[in-house]
Chains A and B, each alone.
Chain A
């Protein structure tokens, strides 16, 4: 029996890490323009590269960082920023819940490390891979931390020289939406899932017109998943 120490390596990186990078590179691609933009915005708001780097390191949540930077710019109070951040990022409660089923055998330390890197994008990729099977904590952590590194570096780079980067090149603004499209297709495992996604999308659009901020994502998701689950299991009652 080959122990893991005898397994041949492709050079420096373990196969598990390579798998993580293979799965996660579209996230990295999408994070670069967003990170650069945030960095640039933060520089205009008077933040130093270190400061935005620290925020990216501690928070690792793009949408809330954008809003925080603009709130800092307009002189908002620290507490207001923190509360707003909580509301924006509360949707990660759903994502974490959804991922928890794959971590029944993991220790607290590993869970705590993995939790740090749960973002919309890493959630979508990791959930998809775990579902397919053949995915483990090492690959999942790689996805989280490689994209995390790219995010932090992009925001710092943007703070230094975002104005020199041509915006919107190569259709890169569509990298994340395209990724979400593909991951959504992976999730359509049956009619009920398609119904769920459609209801969620429509509800999100409608709610976003009436609710300011981004709580519409969570509200629409909770509602659509409930309807979808009822629809999927109604015949089994």
Chain B
């Protein structure tokens, strides 16, 4: 790819990404929202986190397929417990890394 084309790609990628991040922020912070919409928005973080997390834990590979027993999925269980007990982001991340690090060798 020529560097001219590359600049075009980067600017284009940047523009479309930024629009997605900017438009709702500008629009919704200025306008009052219908109640059903705010109820729906209230559930969005839990939904997004679930939708991001589960595939990360139980799916792998090309082509994508389900693999229930992986270091990620097994490490998630004690990590969840640490999260519930400590409610601390730092401790959960560290614990998760430790559990995963150990399990990586186990699964090898």
Q: Which residues of A contact B (CB under 8 A)?
A: 23, 25-26, 29, 47, 51, 54-55, 58-61, 64, 68, 72, 75, 78-79, 81-82, 85-86, 89-101, 103-104, 106, 108, 111-112, 114-116, 118, 120, 123-125, 127-128, 168, 170-175, 177-188, 192-194, 196-205, 208-209, 216-217, 220-222, 224-226, 228-229, 232-233
Residue contact B48 to A226, C-beta cutoff 8 Å: no
Residues of chain B lying within 8 A (CB to CB) of residue A202: 54
B13 smallest CB distance to A (angstroms): 4
If A93-B20, A100-B28, A181-B76 touch, whether A221 touches B10 (CB-CB below 8 Å) is: no
Partner pick for A58 among B10, B21, B47, CB 8 A cutoff: B10
- Interface residue B34 (Cβ < 8 Å from any Cβ of A): no
Describe A's contact surface by its main secondary structure. Answer: helix
Residues of chain B lying within 8 A (CB to CB) of residue A172: 97
Residue contact A217 to B52, C-beta cutoff 8 Å: yes
Interface residues of B in 1-55 (CB under 8 A from A): 1, 3, 5-14, 16-18, 20-29, 33, 36, 38-55
Tally of contact residues, B, Cβ under 8 A = 74
If A180-B56, A183-B49 touch, whether A26 touches B20 (CB-CB below 8 Å) is: no
16 A-B residue contacts at CB 8 Å?
A29-B93, A59-B17, A85-B12, A86-B16, A97-B28, A100-B25, A100-B29, A103-B25, A182-B79, A196-B46, A196-B47, A202-B54, A221-B48, A224-B50, A225-B47, A229-B42
The listed residue with most B CB atoms (<10 A of its CB), out of A81, A178, A221, is A178
Residue contact B6 to A51, C-beta cutoff 8 Å: yes
Count A-B contacts at CB 8 Å. 287
If A174-B72, A178-B95 touch, whether A220 touches B21 (CB-CB below 8 Å) is: no
Residue contact B100 to A196, C-beta cutoff 8 Å: no
B75 smallest CB distance to A (angstroms): 6
Residues of chain A lying within 8 A (CB to CB) of residue B27: 100
B26 smallest CB distance to A (angstroms): 6
Residue contact B76 to A179, C-beta cutoff 8 Å: no
